[in-house]
Homo-oligomer: A and B are copies of this chain.
């Protein structure tokens, strides 16, 4: 299968730390292969995400790149660029096409922005995709996008080298710890 990498644009340390962390956690939990962070460099977010991979398993790559334009331009030679935006084509109208590309082993770069996204992103993206044409959240948009792309299978995927694992339970918290 192709590689799925999330590019988080325009991170601001003060304002976006928790949202960007949630974007990273969602990328991992919903089956992406990694995240590239852009905007302000924020070691805290990188550290939080690495800790989660360490404890809960991977593989999941985390990196920082200031020059997002270069990332996108390079990516266009090796895969598809998808920008999640409420202005785009609504997910139900485009998902079949995207699933087909994924089945053809195409690599996907999935861009999620912070509040203002430069208009060049709309031009460079192969697909501007809306998860409903309503204002909500890049965290939700990414989760629902990946969930539709993988037709829900990501929710039962086992990750590798986890120290902690949850035993699903109807009324309590059950975890098991493994020695690595």
A interface with B by C-beta (< 8 Å): 15-16, 18-19, 22, 25-26, 28-30, 52, 56, 86-93, 119, 122-123, 125, 127-128, 130-137, 139-140, 142-144, 147-148, 152, 154-156, 159, 165-166, 168-175
Q: How long is the Cα–Cα vector from A30 to B131 in the complex, in angstroms?
A: 10
Q: How far is the CB of A137 from chain B (nearest CB, A)?
A: 4
On whether the beta carbons of B29 and A174 are closer than 8 Å, the reply is no
Q: How long is the Cα–Cα vector from A144 to B31 in the complex, in angstroms?
A: 14
For A136, the chain B residues whose CB sits under 8 A away are 22, 25-26, 28-30, 143
Known contacts being A137-B25, A139-B140, is A173 close to B30, with CB within 8 Å? no
Q: Of A90, A155, A172, A174, which is in contact with the most chain B CB atoms at under 10 Å from its CB?
A: A155
